[in-house]
Amino acid sequence: MKIKNRIITLATVLVCLVSFMNTAFAADGVVHWYVKNNKDHRRPALEGDLSLINGHNASYIGADEKVIYLTFDAGYENGNVARILDTLKKHDVKAAFFVLENLIKRDTDLVKRMASEGHLVCNHTASHKNMSLVTDKNTFASELEALEKVYTEYTGNTLAKYYRPPEGSFNESNLIHADELGYHTVFWSFAYADWDNNKQPDTERALDKIMSHIHNGEIMLLHPTSATNAAILDTLLTRLKSEGYRFGTLDELRCTS
């Protein structure tokens, strides 16, 4: 009887342990950001695990009005980032650049130019590591604070308190820690395959894809190293303005999230 009772007790402990582990995994499980694009200009909705961002000082879309939030993930310069800045200046459009340590150190003047021309320079982490595997607050904070320090050291400026997880991979702890560090986490409601420099999309197809998926409050993610993006941005901004869209800043998102 004692052996039987011990077996039952052990089984109960194992069940509780498995339940705890599943709960812990659910709390800090890896989530990969995505949105389902549509050609009806509908605002994409959160699906499945993506609803995890609710209540955590995070945004993936803005107000339901004709406004576009231009955001760029910039890890290095290949000539196209400067071209992107030239076009933004021509149209007097402000954007947000999520940068890495590499860009700040290697192309300091370019990063200084972003800030001096009114763009937000934001946190994409120092080294572009997979932050979804990080649950410890100190480890998480060290990656963001390392970029803050380098940015201030090299430019004399203070980094804008907006954070974008590398490759859109995150967990709930990341959202909580970013919020505690004063950051607003920014995802996106539109992106396309523009990041591979050896496989750049055709310019006309790229323009058609972007314009056919435009929607109210869109947070558009583009990579400024893309030769295609550098080539089409002038036309893209002209078309969006002609259709009545304005270009907002991420500061507006803090009021709508």
Report pLDDT for 254: 83
Among 1-5, 14-18, 38-42, 225-229, name the most confident range. Answer: 225-229
Q: Which of 57, 16, 60, 73 shows the shortest CA–CA distance to 172?
A: 57
Considering the domain boundaries, does residue 18 fall inside one? no
What is the dihedral sign for C-alpha 183, 67, 226, 79? negative
Give the total number of structural domains in the chain.
1
Considering the domain boundaries, does residue 90 fall inside one? yes
Confidence of residue 28 (pLDDT cuts 50, 70, 90): low
The DSSP code for 248 is -
What confidence tens digit (pLDDT) does each residue in 128-167 have?
Answer: 999 999 999 999 999 999 999 999 999 999 999 999 999 9
Catalytic residues: 73, 223
Give dist(CA 235, CA 59) in Å, integer: 27
Instruction: Look up residue 103 and give its amino acid.
Output: L
- Pairing type for strands 31-32 and 58-59 reads unpaired
Confidence of residue 255 (pLDDT cuts 50, 70, 90): low
Instruction: Look up residue 138 and give its amino acid.
Output: N
Q: Report the percent of the chain where pLDDT is more than 70.
A: 88
* Mean pLDDT on 18-29: 40
Q: Report the percent of the chain where pLDDT is more than 90.
A: 85
What is the span of the domain harbouring residue 58?
A: 44-256
Report pLDDT for 18: 32
Write the DSSP assignment of 187-223 as a string of letters.
--SB--S---TTSPPPHHHHHHHHHHT--TTEEEEE-
Considering the domain boundaries, does residue 226 fall inside one? yes
pTM for this entry: 0.88
The answer, yes or no, to whether residue 178 has pLDDT greater than 60, is yes
Tokens of 50: 């993506």
The DSSP code for 54 is T
Considering the domain boundaries, does residue 203 fall inside one? yes
Report pLDDT for 37: 86
The answer, yes or no, to whether residue 9 has pLDDT greater than 80, is no
Domain with residue 240: its CATH number is 3.20.20.370
Considering the domain boundaries, does residue 161 fall inside one? yes
Considering the domain boundaries, does residue 118 fall inside one? yes
Considering the domain boundaries, does residue 91 fall inside one? yes
